[in-house]
Amino acid sequence: DAGVIQSPRHEVTEMGQEVTLRCKPISGHNSLFWYRQTMMRGLELLIYFNNNVPIDDSGMPEDRFSAKMPNASFSTLKIQPSEPRDSAVYFCASSLNRGNYGYTFGSGTRLTVV
């Protein structure tokens, strides 16, 4: 298995532009999580899905952020419009939600908004 795949690895964009981050979870995993990591705030859970349905988006910072999971093998996190304070590393993770399994994380997308 190739693991959790995120794209792009790096993204540099100008303030005000739309940014879309992509994630392909491990095949067979039915839970998917989006995290954001900054030096100041550490790892923050933004939103998670179970069986493609958003369960808890209370960590999404504001309306500029949105996430979708149209099918079991793909999810997107969109920021529109982007701001410099959105600069961070965004991680996607997946797991089986039955039992007490740990997550498998992707390599992350480093977003820089200038």
Q: Which residues bind to other proteins, rule: CB under 8 A?
A: 4, 31, 33, 35, 42-43, 45, 48, 50, 55-56, 91, 93, 95, 97, 100, 102-108
CB closer to other proteins out of 45 and 72? 45
Select from 13, 31, 1, 32 the least CA-distant residue to 88.
Answer: 13
CB closer to other proteins out of 65 and 91? 91
Minimum CB separation from other proteins for residue 88, in Å? 13
As a whole number of angstroms, the distance between CA 55 and CA 23 comes to 17
In one-letter notation, the amino acid at residue 14 is E
CB closer to other proteins out of 11 and 108? 108
Q: Please, which residues have CB within 8 angstroms of residue 20's CB and are 6 or more apart in sequence?
A: 76, 77, 78
